[in-house]
Amino acid sequence: GQSLEQPSEVTAVEGAIVQINCTYQTSGFYGLSWYQQHDGGAPTFLSYNGLDGLEETGRFSSFLSRSDSYGYLLLQELQMKDSASYFCAVRAHSGNTPLVFGKGTRLSVIA
Amino acid sequence: EAGVAQSPRYKIIEKRQSVAFWCNPISGHATLYWYQQILGQGPKLLIQFQNNGVVDDSQLPKDRFSAERLKGVDSTLKIQPAKLEDSAVYLCASSRGQGANYGYTFGSGTRLTVV
């Protein structure tokens, strides 16, 4: 089976930087993805890491270390609208298998 | 491009009743997924379709849940009979392909309350 661990809640100040960690245990590994979900909304795709290293997309970056079974999502210049839940997700058995999601990290951005 | 359409947006039913949800994926997206999201948790896969064929339904409670995608486009998920623990948001997602780097586009979901 697969399991993903991420903190349940994080609070950060507007304008600051926050890192949301994700560790995973899978029988195989075919990439780590991150999704954002606002309350009552649909999850939206943020990033994908198939190889080790950092991927940057605007204010958001995502990192993967396959040897450590670990990744993180980095949000810079936090804005109030970044308050949402963030989910890491993996594909385990092959590149074609569906995503398995973590339980999510609820980020609260405060003034 | 138009997003993933789902209906209804909300549904309240009594336990033991039946309910159906509808999803129309993004045009051209061959892969369609139904996920169940219980409040405070991450989405959990129910079923994956590739065109009109089932790829993975290993986590679908087949004694009460069924899903179809007859023409390889829109899809219907049914629950019969519903239980209290089925109260959740049912999310439909589609992707252009099955490859690991393909992101999912989710619909807004159907919030089901079973009373």
Residue B108 and residue A42: Cβ atoms within 8 Å?
Answer: yes
Helix (H, G, I), strand (E, B) or coil at A63: strand
At residue A2, the pLDDT reads 80
Chain A touched by B105 (CB under 8 Å): yes
Two structure tokens written together for B87: 């109260």
Rounded to a whole number, what is the distance in Å from the CA of A63 to chain B's nearest CA? 15
At residue B101, the pLDDT reads 73
**pLDDT band at residue A55, thresholds of 50, 70 and 90?**
very high
Residue A33 CA to residue B102 CA, distance in Å, equals 10
In 3D, which of A92, A98, A104, A85 has the Cα closest to residue A5?
A104
Among all chains, which residue has been given the structure tokens 């239980």?
B83
**Which of B51, B101, B105 would best serve as a mutation to test chain A binding (most A beta carbons within 10 A)?**
B101
Could you tell me what percent of chain A has a pLDDT over 90?
Answer: 84
In 3D, which of A2, A86, A83, A94 has the Cα closest to residue A36?
A86
Chains A, B: CB contacts under 8 A, how many?
Answer: 57
